Amino acid sequence: MSAPTATIDVVELILQDHRRMEELFRTMRNAEADRAGALAEFSGLLIAHASAEESEVYPALRRYKKVDNEDVDHGVHEHEEGNSALLALLAVKDITSEEWDEKLEELVQAINHHADEEERTLLNDARENMNAERRAQLGKAFTEARAKHLTAGCGDIDNVRKIVESGGR
């Protein structure tokens, strides 16, 4: 995999995370790959990504009159669904089992659905309604928040369980 292009545009940063998640799904589906390692990376990335979106990006989007707040609320709801699906997969002990495959596909479906909707609605709204300077400011805030969560080990099963049990953050 080549290194992502250095960018600070929040839309591009979010898209890079979405593409990395797709790569990790392919790895987790491969019986010969390091599924556990891919899941560990995915778990941290998903939690950090969603947390940074909710703390830095979504509040900014709500302030733009041409951005639909229902789309923002729906994005938060879909993060909660993704977190629940992630927790179910993290709880599977045998990465070679049919249960693993079933829980992985539930996670893939939830995350791909969310990413697709977010890319067609919120990210396009951000492109159309925010200037490049504002997207860069949000990109910096998103990157910092995401890194803070990753450094804190946000993807471990106990933290994911706390997030799911609290209904979000």
In this structure, is residue 2 part of a structural domain? no
In this structure, is residue 23 part of a structural domain? yes
Phi and psi (nearest 5°) for 166?
-85, -5
| pLDDT, mean of residues 113-130 | 91
Could you tell me how many residues make up the chain?
A: 169
Lowest mean pLDDT across 14-28, 52-66, 101-115:
52-66
pLDDT > 80? residue 56: yes
Q: What tens digit of pLDDT does each residue of 60-72 get? A: 888 876 666 777 7
Beta strands in 8-85 (DSSP E): none
Which value, in Å, is the radius of gyration of the alpha carbons in the chain? 16
pLDDT > 50? residue 1: no
pTM beyond 0.95, yes or no? no
Q: What tens digit of pLDDT does each residue of 72-115 get? A: 787 788 999 999 999 999 999 999 999 999 999 999 999 999 99
pLDDT > 50? residue 2: no
What's the total number of domains in the chain?
A: 1
Q: Which domain holds residue 82?
A: 10-165
In this structure, is residue 3 part of a structural domain? no
End-to-end CA distance of the chain: 32
Task: Report pLDDT for 169.
Answer: 54
